[in-house]
Amino acid sequence: MPKEVEENTLAHTHRELPDQYWVDIVTEQPDGYVVDENGDVHIYTAEGLAWVSVLSNGLHGQEVDDFEGRTISLETDVDMSEAIWVPISGKYEISAFKGTFNGNGRVIDGLQMTWCEEFNKEGFFGHLFEASVSNIVMRNGYFYYPDAGAIGFLATRVEKSLIDRCYVECEMHGGYNVPFVYSNSGSTITNSMVHCPMLENLNGHNSGAFVAENRIYNGDETLPVIQNCAAIIEKIEFTYSELYGFVGEYNHGLIENCYVFIGEMMNYPGSSGNGGHRNGITKDNMGEVHNCYYNRIRNYDPSFTGYYMQLDDSPGGGGGFYNTSPFVEEGRGHWKLVNSIGFELENGTVTTDDLLEALNFKVELLSNPELLDWCDVAIGFDNQQLPVFCGINVAETDEHQTINNPIVLSPNPSTGVFTVTGENLKQIEVFDALGQRITSLQANGNRSTLDLSGQPAGVYLINVTDHNGTVYSDKVVKQ
């Protein structure tokens, strides 16, 4: 059961958390957790996702599984609001998650977290080591615990790993809150965004709108990299705070082509008396910051003139800042850099004071096919128009729901025999995970039987054609 928490004195209303944990609901392997012949895992339900947490933490008599050398794929959207999430690899005394987690752009909705006495770390992932995490979309996430220590909503401790193309939307209410990753040690984070409607400090130092610590991995001096990322924080409310910024505490590596937007700071400057740090890129920069931008906070106290009230980059540590400056709103939906930026592109030198252009010119200059382009679309962040990745509407994420598909495949999963139900069936084709067609059969009428008993366990794509020539696609899981 979740530990009882005390209400804080701030005005913000907190959610009522569920009274149980997912790992207490799921005590044996569910149907939505499917292992194929290669040992890779396919997740089809909320219970299936919770089973990953059970295995990684060695609960219910299971051996601890770090998933090294294997891939976990999220195959459908999952609603996690029924119970409280326990982090994957959330204990210090167990192995970190070392596998590959591919979210496939599917939505993890309503993920809720709080403190649990059995675990030392919080977040969707507690600890990543030499892991790969990509294409995760989180919406309506929520964390609440007043006495919480260091926590990142996506992950708390990340070492020598890769995080790419992940989007996190969450509210944070705790101590050392970071809505994306708390400690990045020798890892690379690219093409990712975080949107936090409320970041609330209840007992401690909030530090970092995206990452708190961007540090060298001590084992082999691997540099950390954060590239082509953004953090949008609509409101920050706190009782005690010192540090804010895209990377709040310090940077030992490279931060490149990123921006941070903080809409409003409430109860400013807080009970600490020093006003909290400015919303620049990083506090103590011992590495390099290239082409990064931050907005001017609207409602700060101009009478406070101490160091922590400065809204400019802090050069502590002797690192370098290059093409890094604040941006301001100039008219509806246009963000203008305070200082114009120049780029030496193949077609000559270009100069711009537009935030969107600056981000995209840098992507062009880097000539890295892995980096995403930025677009200017209305995405509802405090009714502001800010750059997002092209093709991604983070306010209305596509949930990949099948619309008006009259074909039903049951039971699914199955040990081999599936019933295909629809109207005027004509042909059924089956493709394996590599896209190779493994069988095709003629159908007639509204019901047919598909037998995959002779095929290996795994996920198969089914194309069903009716007599009108319409093709419907779905997936089945052969156990």
Distance CA(118)–CA(92), nearest Å, equals 10
Q: How confident is residue 186, by pLDDT bands cut at 50, 70 and 90?
A: very high
Q: How far apart are CA 211 and CA 156, in angstroms?
A: 9
> In this structure, are strands 193-196 and 225-227 parallel, antiparallel, or unpaired?
unpaired
d(CA 165, CA 105): 9
Find the angle CA(317)-CA(324)-CA(186) to the nearest 5 degrees.
55
Q: How much is the pLDDT for 174?
A: 81
Structure tokens at 160: 């020598």
Model confidence, pTM:
0.80
CB 479 within 8 A of CB 415: yes
Q: What is the pLDDT of residue 89?
A: 94
Could you tell me the residue ranges of all domains in the chain?
22-389, 408-478
316 vs 307: CA distance, rounded Å: 12
The answer to whether 199 and 172 have CB atoms below 8 angstroms apart is: yes
The mean per-residue pLDDT over the stretch 235-247 comes to 71
* Residue 148: per-residue pLDDT: 66
166: Cβ–Cβ under 8 A, 6 or more apart, which residues?
103, 133, 134, 135, 136, 137, 138, 154, 192, 193
Domain 408-478: CATH superfamily is Macroglobulin (MG2) domain (2.60.40.1930)
Q: Which one, of 45, 57, 129, lies nearest residue 88 by Cα?
A: 57
Per-residue model confidence as pLDDT tens digits over 58-99: 999 999 999 999 999 999 899 999 999 999 998 878 889 999
Q: What's the pLDDT band for 317 if we cut at 50, 70, 90?
A: low
Q: Does the domain made of 22-389 have the CATH classification 3.30.70.141?
A: no
Q: Where are the alpha helices (DSSP H) in 162-261?
A: none
Alpha helices in 57-97 (DSSP H): none
- Kind of pairing, strands 181-185 and 155-159? parallel
CA distance 126 to 159: 11
